[in-house]
């Protein structure tokens, strides 16, 4: 071993690390790409504009006033100074792990009354919420049964003393009549 490496062992470690790094640059396999995607930095969720649902679009009727349209759709994202009888509703969302979404709806007025509207097909609120759920769904449902041996692990242990029914009943609070749901009904 050269004398310089004997005096500075950290130099040997740096040389080995550099060799591995240069070897890693020669190519990426599917496994290394998978490892790199697992450690990607967090990307901020970007939501712009008003989400307009299919139900809201169906509530629009020609002849409605501007105020009625505003109550149904909200304030438009774009109000053009040069087109005072046109409101543009644009909605974009960019989330990590999900394809970006963009939807547009343009509302046209004749004076103070709604003349017509046009735009992209809008999803219902339920469909939109389903696209936001990025959790991976596994096809397998675990068994929800316990065998007798597994239940015996959780059986109360006998101390040799017998507790009477009145002391155990009063030491624990009563159970509620009903429990709240775990998830919102869909």
Which of residues 86, 108, 132 is at a domain's end? 132
Residue 84 lies in a domain: yes
Q: Are residues 63 and 124 in the same domain?
A: yes
Q: Given this model, what pLDDT does residue 38 score?
A: 67
Q: Given this model, what pLDDT does residue 176 score?
A: 76
Q: Given this model, what pLDDT does residue 55 score?
A: 92
> pLDDT band at residue 7, thresholds of 50, 70 and 90?
low
pLDDT in tens, 126-166: 888 877 766 666 667 667 788 888 888 888 776 655 555 54
Residue 126: CATH number of its domain: 3.30.1450
Residue 163 lies in a domain: no
Q: Are residues 65 and 91 in the same domain?
A: yes
Please count the structural domains in the chain.
2
Can you tell me the mean pLDDT for 26-50? 71
Can you tell me the mean pLDDT for 38-52? 78
Q: What six digits make up the tokens of 142?
A: 């675990």
Cα separation, 102 vs 51, in Å, equals 10
Q: Are residues 60 and 122 in the same domain?
A: yes
pLDDT in tens, 99-109: 888 999 999 99
Cα separation, 4 vs 154, in Å, equals 64
Can you tell me the mean pLDDT for 41-49? 79
Q: Burial, 114: exposed, middle or buried (Cβ in 10 Å; 0-12, 13-18, 19+)?
A: buried
> Domain limits at 17?
3-38
Q: Given this model, what pLDDT does residue 22 score?
A: 61
Q: Are residues 14 and 33 in the same domain?
A: yes
Residue recorded with tokens 């339920």 = 126
Residue recorded with tokens 């709604």 = 114
Q: Given this model, what pLDDT does residue 6 score?
A: 61
pLDDT in tens, 49-90: 888 999 999 999 999 999 999 999 998 877 778 888 899 999
Which of residues 106, 132, 158 is at a domain's end? 132
Residue 168 has pLDDT above 80, yes or no: no
Residue 20 lies in a domain: yes
More confident residue, 68 or 16: 68
R_g over Cα of the chain: 32
Residue 37 has pLDDT above 70, yes or no: no
Cα separation, 161 vs 38, in Å, equals 56
> pLDDT band at residue 25, thresholds of 50, 70 and 90?
low
Q: Are residues 106 and 63 in the same domain?
A: yes
Q: Are residues 58 and 14 in the same domain?
A: no
């Amino acid at each position: 071993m050269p004398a310089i490496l004997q005096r500075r062992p950290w130099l040997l470690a740096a040389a080995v690390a550099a060799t591995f790094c240069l070897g890693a640059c020669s190519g990426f396999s599917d496994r290394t790409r998978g490892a790199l995607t697992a450690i990607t930095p967090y990307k901020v969720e970007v939501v712009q504009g008003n989400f307009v649902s299919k139900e809201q679009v169906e509530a629009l009727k020609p002849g409605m006033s501007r105020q009625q349209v505003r109550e149904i759709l909200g304030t438009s994202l774009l109000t053009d100074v040069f087109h005072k009888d046109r409101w543009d509703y644009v909605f974009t969302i960019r989330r990590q792990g999900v394809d970006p979404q963009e939807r547009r709806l343009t509302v046209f007025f004749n004076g103070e009354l709604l003349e017509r509207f046009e735009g992209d097909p809008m999803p219902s609120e339920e469909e939109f919420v389903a696209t936001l759920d990025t959790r991976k769904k596994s096809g397998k449902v675990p068994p929800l049964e316990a065998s007798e041996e597994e239940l015996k692990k959780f059986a109360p242990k006998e101390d040799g003393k017998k507790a009477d029914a009145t002391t155990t009943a009063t030491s624990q609070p009563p159970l509620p009549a009903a429990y709240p749901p775990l998830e919102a009904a869909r």
